[in-house]
Structure 1
């Protein structure tokens, strides 16, 4: 049996919003990705393409802040465990950064291919 309170949708939503606010206050990369997301979301709505392409544009766009959130969580847990230089801690943080890098790479390739297809 897990030492965890009974599930409560509204309480869990509060935790999620608390985490979002913390990311916005403390993570510059996350703020940049949110700004990019807010700028590009209307483009997805108004771009003349099919719903499958719009879904791909949306999913890859949202993948960036999602990956940054995962990376921030990894970094915080590693920092909680040790603030001293540790090879494994550094490798864990590097893997978190790789998640972000891959999400940005997928975003750029997907958007480039779809936009080239539409406007060529």
Structure 2
């Protein structure tokens, strides 16, 4: 039985515990293997406390913090997509390039989203 099959058969706290472990492993892999993720974590370490300082309301702070966390989420999804594409298609291929470019575009859009939200809240 594979790890994935064993995970799906678990229920309750055991399933939650396993899921937390997989999430920890994913965060660790992103930190070790992705320079962009490390840079964005540094950005988050600076901007999240700043959001609590600069935000005038709970909504302001939630929007500002949420926009930064979204960048991290999209970066992790992009990194996962790139890893799968590299495994499935190690040679250069138009569809592999398209998938990777779309993942990169998603990260760019999450960065623009954060900039727009911060500008709307602060200006």
Q: Which residue in 2 is equivalent to 1:58?
A: 65
Q: Which residue in 2 is equivalent to 1:32?
A: 39
| Runs of 4+ more than 4 Å apart | none
Distance of 1:86 and 1:48 partners within structure 2: 46
Could you list the runs of 5+ residues in structure 1 that have no partner in the other structure? none
TM-score (norm 2): 0.88
Superposition deviation, residue 48 in structure 1? 4.5
Superposition deviation, residue 47 in structure 1? 2.1
Task: Give CA-to-partner distance per residue, 1:26-56, whole Å, 9 cap, x none.
Answer: 1000000000101111112222511111111
Q: Which residue in 1 is equivalent to 2:50?
A: 43
Q: Which residue in 2 is equivalent to 1:88?
A: 95
Q: Which residue in 1 is equivalent to 2:84?
A: 77
Could you list the runs of 5+ residues in structure 2 that have no partner in the other structure? none
Residue pairs, 1:3-42, within 5 angstroms: 4-5=5-6, 6-7=9-10, 8-42=15-49
Pairs aligned (count): 114
RMSD across aligned positions (CA): 1.2
Distance 1:24 1:111, change over 3 A: same
TM-score (norm 1): 0.90
